Structure 1
Amino acid sequence: MRLFLALVPPPELRRRFGELADAAHEHCGGRRVADDNLHLTLAFLGEQPKHRAEELADWLSGMHIAPGQWRLDRWGHFTGPGIVWIGGTSETGLIRLRQSLREDLEGLGIDVRPRRFTPHITLLRRVEQPPATSLPEVALDWSYSRAALVLSEPTHRGSRYTPLAWSRA
């Protein structure tokens, strides 16, 4: 089972992310990420056996995530994989959350890679040119209080993400 930990935006914010993805797609091309798959990855866990997924679900279900606020206010581009993303400021809480989760996961015997963490929401994949300066301004606030353990399943239309467990609110 291919798993990751993520923050999943509420429906209205996810809809706004989708609108930004549409605008970016018009300018940059590439493959647009489906609205249902828009999220912030906190830790990629890779392939895990079913019993490990159950252990991780129990672990996360008992965890309380400190509420935080993230201001998304900029566009970004990872050249190598051709990813266009939005990210922002006020990342200190996210970085602390990710570090705490990584330490807990390593205690459970799971090595979280990559070690470097750039909080972002991937909107497009396989983009060959960086985002144009004519992209719309980004100014969104995301209040978060729960993390999800998510199953990534490949389909003929791309990956389908299914939350398996949530942290306590």
Structure 2
Amino acid sequence: MRLFVAVLPPVEAVEHLEEFLEPRREHGDFRWSPPDQAHVTLAFLPDVAEHLLDELGERLATAASRRRPLVARIAGGGAFPDVARGRLLHAGLDLGGEAGDDEELDRTATGARHAAVAAGTEVDGARFRPHVTLARLRRPADLTRWVRVLDTYAGPSWPLDELALVASYLGEGPRRRARHEVLATFPLGGREGRRAQSRPRP
């Protein structure tokens, strides 16, 4: 199974971002990400055997219980691999709470990755850089203007108080839009071993 561990912004935060982006969107080479799939990836697990799911869930629940909730908002933006030759446009994640919140989110991502490895599955991806993917480009382009626009944006704050384990099913056809399904959620700062609550994701 193709899975990832993520932070899922609430519907209100995603809708606020969409209201900001909609009048500014250009067609061109942009392939915009569906709003209902907005997320911040903490750990990408490209190929998880189904028999590992129970242990993975238990280890993620334990890892989440060791971290504290945060307050976050979607704000600012950037591009990967860089602004001058961007292939991916993204919004940023701002943690405006207590001192050390950025480090706490880094530790949360590290804990999720360690939990996956301990459960016996592979973790893919480079250094954790919190972001919400907005659009991808077929060819590299200078995204300076778009990043400047995004730098004027700051969405509403929301409690970052749980992690989600999400399955990603690749679609068919030329667009190959993935379908996401939330398998379970894990509260931050909760009691160790608390059972995850599954919930649907549109």
Q: Please classify the TM superposition score into its range, dividing by the shorter chain length.
A: 0.7 to 0.9
Secondary structure of 1:147's aligned partner:
strand
Aligned mate of 1:160, from 169, 172, 179? 179
Q: Give the CA deviation at 1:20.
A: 4.2
Q: Deviations over 1:58-77 (max 9, x none)?
A: 44356435211234332101
Dislocated runs of 4+, deviation >4 Å: none
The reply on whether 1:151 has 2:164 as its aligned counterpart is no
Coordinate RMSD, CA, aligned? 2.6
The reply on whether 1:77 has 2:88 as its aligned counterpart is no
What is the TM-score with the length of structure 2 in the denominator? 0.72
Partner of 2:196: none
CA gap 1:108/1:57 in 2 versus in 1, 3 angstroms: closer
What are the ranges of 5 or more consecutive residues in structure 2 without an aligned counterpart?
Answer: 96-101, 189-202
What are the ranges of 5 or more consecutive residues in structure 1 without an aligned counterpart?
Answer: none
Q: Which moved more, 1:143-152 or 1:123-132?
A: 123-132
CA gap 1:71/1:124 in 2 versus in 1, 3 angstroms: same
CA gap 1:22/1:162 in 2 versus in 1, 3 angstroms: same
Secondary structure of 2:162's aligned partner:
coil
The reply on whether 1:113 has 2:129 as its aligned counterpart is no
Aligned mate of 1:138, from 153, 168, 171? 153
What is the TM-score with the length of structure 1 in the denominator? 0.84
Provide the C-alpha distance between the structure 2 equivalents of 1:71 and 1:12, rounded to a whole number of angstroms. 11
CA gap 1:24/1:98 in 2 versus in 1, 3 angstroms: farther
Q: Deviations over 1:86-125 (max 9, x none)?
A: 1144332211211222223232233423241110000101
CA gap 1:78/1:115 in 2 versus in 1, 3 angstroms: closer
Amino acid at match of 2:38: L
Report if the CA contact (8 A) 2:90-2:134 is conserved.
yes
Secondary structure of 1:126's aligned partner:
strand
Partner of 1:18: 18
Matches within 5 A, 1:33-112: 33-61=33-61, 63-64=64-65, 65-79=67-81, 82-90=87-95, 91-112=102-123
Report if the CA contact (8 A) 2:3-2:48 is conserved.
yes
RCO higher in structure (CA 8 A, sep ≥6): 1
Report if the CA contact (8 A) 2:5-2:165 is conserved.
yes
Amino acid at match of 1:44: F
Amino acid at match of 1:139: A
Question: How many residues align structurally?
Answer: 169
Which entry has the higher C-alpha Rg, 1 or 2?
Answer: 2
CA gap 1:124/1:19 in 2 versus in 1, 3 angstroms: farther
Report if the CA contact (8 A) 2:5-2:41 is conserved.
yes
